[in-house]
Homo-oligomer: A and B are copies of this chain.
Amino acid sequence: MTTGELATWRALLDTTTELRRVLGAQLVQESSLSPADYQVLLALSEAEGRRLRSSELAATIDWERSRLSHHLARMERRGLIRRDGCSTDNRGAEVLLTEDGATMFRGATAPHMRAIKKHFADALTPEQFEALADILRALRGHLHSERADVPAGGAGS
C-alpha cells in the first residue's frame, strides 16, 4: 500500500467523521432526534403499515439485535414508537410508529435534507458524484465478495 493510498484512507475517515458530526449535531438540535433515531423512524415510516417485526427492522438498518432492543426501549419511553406482541409468533415483537413519532420524523426530514444538500451535495460536481457512486459500489462489492469468500473455504488472496 502506498503512502498516498494510506493518506486517502485517513482522509476518508476524517472527512466522514466530520460530516457525521456536523449533520448529526444539526439534526439533533433542530429536531431532538439523533441520527440513530432518524434511521429507525425512516425505516418504520417506509414500512407497510408503519410497523415491522423487530428482527426485520434490525436487518433493514443493519443493526445488532441487542442494540436495537436497547434503542427501542429508549424510544418507547419517549413515545416515538410502541412495541406490540406478534399475532403469528408469540415470541416476536412488532414495532410500530406512533403518531408522535411520525410527526417528529416528518418535522425532521426537510431540514435534514437541506443540511445534507448544504454540507455534502453542494460540495461536489456531477462528475464527482458519479465517480463517488462508482467508488462506493466498488468498495461495497469488494467487502461483500470477501465475506462470501472466507466461509466457503476457498483459497485466500
Contacts and interface: CB of A to CB of B under 8 A. Distances in A.
A132 B12 CA distance: 8
Given A16-B16, A62-B14, A113-B1, A142 B123 contact: yes
Interface stretch (A48-56, A81-89, A133-141): A133-141
A101 to B, nearest CB: 21
Interface residues of A, number: 46
Given A8-B133, A123-B143, 17 more contacts: A4-B133, A5-B120, A6-B116, A11-B133, A12-B16, A13-B16, A13-B20, A14-B140, A15-B143, A16-B16, A19-B143, A119-B142, A124-B135, A124-B138, A124-B139, A128-B131, A131-B132
A116 to B, nearest CB: 6
B123 A139 contact: yes
Residue in A6, A62, A136 whose Cβ sees the most chain B Cβ within 10 Å: A136
Interface string A32-48: 00000000000000000
Interface in A92-149: 113, 116-124, 128-129, 131-143, 146
A69 to B, nearest CB: 19
Contacts of A18: 62, 140, 143
B143 A113 contact: no
Query: Which 10 A-B residue pairs are closest in the complex by CB-CB distance?
Result: A123-B142, A131-B131, A1-B117, A11-B136, A16-B16, A5-B121, A1-B121, A8-B133, A15-B136, A123-B139
